Chains A and B, each alone.
Chain A
């Protein structure tokens, strides 16, 4: 599985001034790679991840999955990609308040006609330390549990590409370590993992690092 951004650009207007959230960004990631994107707030990291996941259309350039332009697909097909190929944990996403943690995790699959894979669900819940809160509603969760539940939902369908925006943001060190280890496991199992973060603890061997500044992406190592 290969994810590739080609010359993508997107502008924003803030206080009547136009600025580049993404300026001709190029990035190619293959299965079994872990990419960390660092950068200050407002540098364009979230916009890049939104474009890579297909929930926001770039104004120039495009995104390919296995050489297929995802923005040439109809919106329904692109959404379906996020149901099977891409697991996306948004920075300011959220769980559905009317469902329990378990229901939140399986809902995107069951609404598409799939049965509940209890073995898979149990494995993810226990791996992320959510077994005790599986039947709780989101409002009953701590911040760390909530973030892990979002991650659980993103990976339940075993997508080949996992994109996470600030997955350890606002988490205490214990919770952050659980998340980092879980993402590392995904990478080691051959998944393609992309993380936008301020968390320097992600700096590990074999990861690829990029820095985002004023909408431009530069490789760091």
Chain B
């Protein structure tokens, strides 16, 4: 006998069983891991999109947006998905829209797709804006105590990995990063904001004449409108469309642009929940069957335990620990692997779903993890119930196949 014999409790016996019954343990681990991973992924994506859309709604700030009809898709992609574009719109539309009844404030932005930049692998959306009048970035700058920016300064989105004070070059011009915008979940995260003065200087540079088809300093890309409070967004949209619809513009209520994504999210949630429900039923059934079969194949072992004076409650406690070990390890593995997956493929997922997307905050993450744990616990209880029912209904002798001598 080598050394001291360790006292074997139900917990230690459970660990031994888990280690020795490798195939069964691995199958159960995988089942718990996949269930937890899918539950977590589905909830996480749904939450990220929901948060992204809400942030987009808040960040956009405009009640009505007017864009040239030929560039609707480009502006839409630039605003929400960060796909760079260059849009040319006559500046005089600012005054024309401002004159419509019900308009309180107007602002504009100018979109320029960058050429290759020193900072980034991909093209970047440059947006010229007026800090004094802008609804989207202006209020944020005020909140941060940044009154205005000069022509050689730039505000960068979260995805442009630059820090305040660092330098970045666009169209051969050096800009100093003044601030990094808080995560928005929309195209602004991959955009950089400059003054109209800087944008027009770039546009006037003969080297970029072919890339930037602007007409001097009379170009903008979109007009952002606030109502005066007496008119609803939809009403103002109709009024502008009726007055100028034939002039090659498209008018959107701010919510209308965002609600398109809300519809996508709703579909995603419905299909996601249906899929999860089906998988959950499948996993529950598989686990129940697997547990029942496991107890069946281990019936001789349990019969021997009962014969040796080990009570059913102790056997059940051992199985409880075995299943808890597998459920805990499996769901943790599922959670960790999905977290790594989300970290590695964050950008690809944003592109894949083409919906504003923001990582959930700590509160939401905690809620998701708790929901996931609750769902896994339900499966765990299903598994335990299957085992408990079998064990509770058995007579020791029937388990070891009574043989008449």
Given contacts A50-B397, A110-B9, A165-B405, contact A96 B314 (CB under 8 A): no
Interchain CB contact under 8 A, B304 and A47: no
Interchain CB contact under 8 A, A46 and B405: yes
Contacts of B197 in A (CB 8 A): none
Given contacts A106-B5, A110-B9, A111-B10, contact A45 B310 (CB under 8 A): no
Report B291-325 residues with CB < 8 Å from chain A CB. 300-301, 304-314, 318
Interface flag for A41 (CB, 8 Å): yes
Contacts of A157 in B (CB 8 A): 309
Interface flag for B21 (CB, 8 Å): yes
Interchain CB contact under 8 A, A79 and B5: no
Given contacts A50-B402, A84-B309, contact A95 B304 (CB under 8 A): yes
Interchain CB contact under 8 A, A166 and B405: yes
Name B5's contact: one of A46, A81, A118 (CB within 8 Å). A118
Contacts of A103 in B (CB 8 A): 5, 8
Interface flag for B72 (CB, 8 Å): no
Contacts of B304 in A (CB 8 A): 90, 93-96
Interface flag for A115 (CB, 8 Å): yes
Interchain CB contact under 8 A, B405 and A97: no
Residue of B nearest to A126 (CB): B1
C-alpha gap A95/B5 in the complex (Å): 17
Interface flag for B144 (CB, 8 Å): no
**Max count, chain A CB within 10 A of own CB: residue among B21, B313, B400:** B400
Name A92's contact: one of B7, B301, B306, B401 (CB within 8 Å). B401
Interface flag for B404 (CB, 8 Å): yes
Given contacts A97-B20, A134-B1, contact A91 B309 (CB under 8 A): no
| Total number of residue pairs linking A and B with CB closer than 8 Å | 136
- A-contact bits for B251-283, CB 8 A (1 contact / 0 none): 000000000000000000000000000000000
Contacts of A80 in B (CB 8 A): 309, 311
Interface flag for A18 (CB, 8 Å): no
C-alpha gap A115/B1 in the complex (Å): 17
Contacts of B402 in A (CB 8 A): 46-47, 50, 56
Interface flag for B13 (CB, 8 Å): yes
Interchain CB contact under 8 A, B4 and A42: no
Name A75's contact: one of B8, B19, B312, B397 (CB within 8 Å). B312
**Number of A residues, CB within 8 Å of B:** 58
- A-contact bits for B2-39, CB 8 A (1 contact / 0 none): 10111111100100110111000000000000000000
Residue of A nearest to B306 (CB): A79
Interface flag for B396 (CB, 8 Å): yes
C-alpha gap A199/B307 in the complex (Å): 24
Report A43-95 residues with CB < 8 Å from chain B CB. 43-47, 50, 53, 55-57, 75-76, 79-84, 86, 88, 90-95
Contacts of A93 in B (CB 8 A): 304, 307, 400
Interchain CB contact under 8 A, B1 and A108: no
Interface flag for B395 (CB, 8 Å): yes
Interface flag for A107 (CB, 8 Å): yes
Interchain CB contact under 8 A, A55 and B395: yes
Given contacts A39-B405, A46-B404, A46-B405, contact A79 B8 (CB under 8 A): no
C-alpha gap A94/B290 in the complex (Å): 24
Given contacts A83-B309, A88-B307, A108-B310, contact A12 B8 (CB under 8 A): no
C-alpha gap A47/B309 in the complex (Å): 18
Interface flag for B362 (CB, 8 Å): no
Interchain CB contact under 8 A, A83 and B308: yes
Interchain CB contact under 8 A, B301 and A97: yes
Interchain CB contact under 8 A, A99 and B405: no
- A-contact bits for B360-388, CB 8 A (1 contact / 0 none): 00000000000000000000000000000
For the complex formed, measure the closest distance between the CB of B142 and the CB atoms of chain A, giving whole angstroms: 68
Interface flag for B340 (CB, 8 Å): no
Q: Which residues of A contact B (CB under 8 A)?
A: 12, 21, 39, 41-47, 50, 53, 55-57, 75-76, 79-84, 86, 88, 90-99, 102-103, 106-108, 110-112, 115-116, 118, 121-122, 125, 131, 134-135, 153-154, 157, 165-166, 196
Please, could you name 6 A-B residue pairs with CB atoms under 8 Å apart, sorted by A? A82-B308, A83-B309, A91-B405, A96-B301, A96-B305, A116-B7
Given contacts A45-B405, A79-B306, A116-B4, 13 further A-B contacts (CB under 8 A): A39-B405, A79-B310, A80-B311, A84-B309, A86-B309, A93-B307, A93-B400, A99-B13, A110-B8, A111-B8, A112-B309, A116-B7, A166-B405
